[in-house]
Amino acid sequence: MASFTLDSSLGGAIGGKTASALERAFGMTTVGDLLVHYPRRYARHGELTPISTLPLGEPVTIVAEVRRVSERRMKNRNGSLLEVVISDGNGEMSLTFFNQSWRVRDLQPGRQGIFAGKVGIYKGVQQLAHPDYELFEDADTARMKVQANANLPIPIYPATSTVASWQLQKTVELVLDGLGEIPEPLTEELRARYGLIDARTAVEHIHRPTDFSQIEPARATLRMQEAFVLQVALLQQRQFVRALSATKRPPGSLLERFDAALPFPRTPDQISVGDDVARDLEGDWPMNRLVQGEVGSGKTLVALRAMLQVAQSGGQSALIAPTEVLAAQHVRSIARMLGPQLAPELMPTLLTGQLPAAERRKAALRAASGQALIVVGTHALLSESTTFADLGLVVVDEQHRFGVEQRESLRAKGSSPHALVLTATPIPRTVAMTVFGDLDVSTIRTMPAGRAGIETYVAPLAERSSWFGRVWERIAEEVAQGRQAFVVCAAIDAEKLTKDDTADEPAGDTGGEASRTRWGVVQVAELLSRHPSFSGIRVEILHGKMPSDEKDAVMQAFARGDVDVLVATTVVEVGVDVPNASTMAILEADRFGVSQLHQLRGRVGRGGVPGLCLLVTEAPLGTPARERVDAVASTLDGFALAEVDLELRGEGDVLGDAQSGARSSLRLLRVVKDADIISEARVAAEQLLADDPALLRHPGLAAALERNVSMAERAALAKN
C-alpha cells in the first residue's frame, strides 16, 4: 500500500536523521527533491574503475577489488594502521584506516565493492583516507548470483563527504517501495509521438534499472518532462503579463525633437527594433522585450527613445545597471544624447548606494516626486525606500547579471510597467528560449558606420616568452601616437588573492585556478612604474574595491584623456566608452570566458581609431583554455562566439545567474545538446496552453509545475 507522494516530507518517508543529512548536503526537503537527484552514471558488478584516471583532490566513487590487507602498529602514536590495497586489474591504490582492526573481517582479498573518498597521494601511491565503502556479496553468494547480477546496473549518484552514493541508492529504494502513483506531466499525444514511457516507470528505471537498456528511455522521458514543464512555466508567465492592462504610451513631440537633433542616421536594425519597442509601448499589455546586440550596436539609443516615448505622457523610466561605473556613465551619455534642450525636461538622475547621503536623498526625492523622468542606478533602485510617482518603463542593462527576482522587484514599483532588457552578450537561440522564454526577443546585428574595427592577436607566452615584453612596447607605441590603452587583469592583487578579491567584479571562467593567478592590478602597476618605456606615460588603476567617487574620478579622467593607460579588473567590461582608446592587453586571457573576452575587447576600436586587442596567455596549444582564447582571436562575430562558448564550456557557465526561477530545475536537460527537444516542447506547450490556459484538464502537469517551480520562484516569475 502506497504511503506517500512526491510532495511528502522526506523526514516522514525516511526518518529525521537521514532526512536532515540530505537537507544539509543537497537542500532536499521532499520525496520529489530526492527523486530528481538522478544517478550520474552506472557501473557493472564485474566492471572496475580505471584507477589511473582518478583526479587528485576530488571526491570519487569507484568499483574495485581488494588485493592485499596489512596491519601494523604506528611508530609515533598509539594504535594501529590498517592498509588495504585495491585494484582495477591494472593500477592499485591504498585505503588507510586508523585503529579499525575489525575491518579485516570484511576487507578480504578478492572481495569487490564500491569505495568512496577523496583521492590523495602518500609516498607516491594514490590513496583514499578513511573511505566509505560497501562490499558486494561474499564470494560464495556472489558466485551463485553472478549470472543474475551480470547485467544489473549499479547507480552512482552525485555524493558528498557526508552522504555516500550507496546511501543515496538505499534511501531512493526505500522511497520507491513506499511511493504511490506519480501524476503524468506529459500529454498522451506527446508521449505517443516521441515513444516515451509513463512517469512512474521513468522514475523507477532511472533509479533502479534491471537492465542497461532501460536507462536511456527513462532519461529521454524525464528530459522531455523538464523541457515541457519549463516551457509551460515560461509561457504561463507571458500569459500573466498579457492578462495585465498597461498604460498606453504613444510617441509624441519629445521623440520627434530627439530624432531631429540626432547627428547620425539610425541603422536599419536600430529602426526595426525601435519600431518593435514603440508598438509594444502602445499595446494592451506591458512590454516584456529582450534587445540583444553587440557592444556599440546602439542598444542604449533604442532604450533612450523608449524612455522619451514613456516620458511624453509623464511616465518615468528606471534603468538598472550592474556596476556604479556603468550607472554613472549611462547618466552622462544619456544627458549628452538628450542635449541641452531635452536634458532639463527629463532630468536624468543617478541613484546608487555609494552616493553621499545628501545627494542620495535628493535623487530619491526627484524619483518619488516624478520630477526625474529618467532614473539610473544600481541595486539601490531595488531598496524599499526608492519609490516612483509613475514608473512606466523598467530597463535592465546586462540582464545576465540580474536574476528574474531583481528584474521583477523593480517592476513591482509601478503599476504593470513595461520592461526592456538589454544584453551585449549574444544569446544562442536555445538559451534565449530556455532562459528568456517569457520575453520577446529583438536583435541588433548591424553596427553603426564609422567604426574602425578591431584586430585581435594571441600573445602565446608558452611558445615565446619574449612576447610579454613586446606587449608593453606595443602599448607604449600606441600612447606615443596620442592614443590610450587598457590593461585588464583577472584579480586586484595576485599575491594576496582571496576568494573575495574579485567578488564585486564580473566572474571570469577561472576554472578554479585562483591560486595560480600571477598578474593582478597591483603587480602590473608596479611593473609599469619601473618600465623604461613607460617613464612619461600616465598610468592609473581601477577596480571594484575602490570607493565609488574614486572609481568615477579615474574613469572620467581616462575619458578626458588625462590618463594614458588604465590598469583594471573586469570592472571595465561593460559600458566604458572612450573613443580614443585603441589598445587592450588582457593578461592571463585563458582565465576568462569566451563571451567575457569578447565583451572586454569591445571597449576599444569604438571611434575612428583602429582597435588592437592582445590576448596574453601561458596556456599551451591544444588545451581547452587555449581553445577559448584562440576562438576569440579568430572572429569578431559575437553570435558565432556565443555558440562556441556553449560548445566549449557547456550551458551551466553560460546561463550564469539567469538560471533562477524555473531555470534552476534543469537536471538532465542540456540546452545545447537538447535544442530540438526544447523547440518541440515549446510548440507543444503553446498548443496546450491555447486549449487549456488554466491547466484544468491537465492536473499532472499543474502538479509538476507546483513541484518543480517553487512558490517563491513562481512569485518571481509572475511578480508585477
The domain 45-150 is placed in CATH, from the list 2.40.50.140, 1.20.120.550, 3.40.1170.10, 2.90.10.10, at 2.40.50.140
Phi, psi for residue 635 in degrees, rounded to 5: -155, 150
Residue ranges of the chain that CATH labels 2.40.50.140? 45-150
Helix 253-261 vs helix 299-311: crossing angle, to nearest 10: 150
Say if residue 309's pLDDT is above 70. yes
| Residue 399's pLDDT band (cuts 50, 70, 90) | low
Q: State the average pLDDT over residues 296-301.
A: 86
Task: Report the sign of the C-alpha dihedral through residues 377, 380, 386, 387, in that order.
Answer: positive
Least confident among 281-285, 429-433, 693-697: 429-433
User: What whole-number percentage of the chain has pLDDT above 70?
Assistant: 86
Say if residue 658's pLDDT is above 60. no
Taking only the tens place, the pLDDT of each residue in 506-518 is: 333 333 333 467 8
Residue ranges of the chain that CATH labels 3.40.50.300? 262-444, 454-635
Residue 487 in grid coordinates = 590593461
Neighbouring residues of 606: CB distance < 8 A, sequence distance ≥ 6: 296, 451, 577, 578, 579, 581
Angle CA(613)–CA(618)–CA(619) in degrees, nearest 5?
Answer: 100
Which one-letter DSSP state was computed for residue 9?
B
Q: State the average pLDDT over residues 458-480.
A: 91
Q: Which of 149, 156, 223, 158 is nearest to 185 (CA)?
A: 223
Give the residue, 102 or 405, on which the prediction is more confident: 102
The secondary element (H helix, E strand) that includes residue 290 is: strand 288-293
Report the alpha-carbon distance of residue 555 to residue 576 in Å, rounded: 8
Give the residue, 103 or 390, on which the prediction is more confident: 390
Give the residue, 59 or 94, on which the prediction is more confident: 94
Q: What does the pLDDT read at residue 641?
A: 81
User: What whole-number percentage of the chain has pLDDT above 90?
Assistant: 39
- CATH no. of 262-444: 3.40.50.300
Q: What does the pLDDT read at residue 47?
A: 65
Taking only the tens place, the pLDDT of each residue in 235-276 is: 888 888 788 888 899 999 999 999 999 988 999 999 999 999
Helix 253-261 vs helix 324-346: crossing angle, to nearest 10: 110
Q: Decide: helix, strand or coil at residue 441.
A: strand
| Residue 629's pLDDT band (cuts 50, 70, 90) | very high
Give the residue, 26 or 575, on which the prediction is more confident: 26
Taking only the tens place, the pLDDT of each residue in 205-215 is: 999 999 999 99
The secondary element (H helix, E strand) that includes residue 595 is: helix 594-601
- CATH no. of 454-635: 3.40.50.300
Say if residue 657's pLDDT is above 90. no
- Region label for 39, one of left (φ > 0), alpha (ψ between -120 and 50) or beta (otherwise): beta
Q: What does the pLDDT read at residue 240?
A: 81
Strand partners, 316: 391
Q: State the average pLDDT over residues 530-552.
A: 90
Say if residue 133's pLDDT is above 90. no
Q: State the average pLDDT over residues 73-102.
A: 84
Q: What does the pLDDT read at residue 659?
A: 37
Q: What does the pLDDT read at residue 604?
A: 87
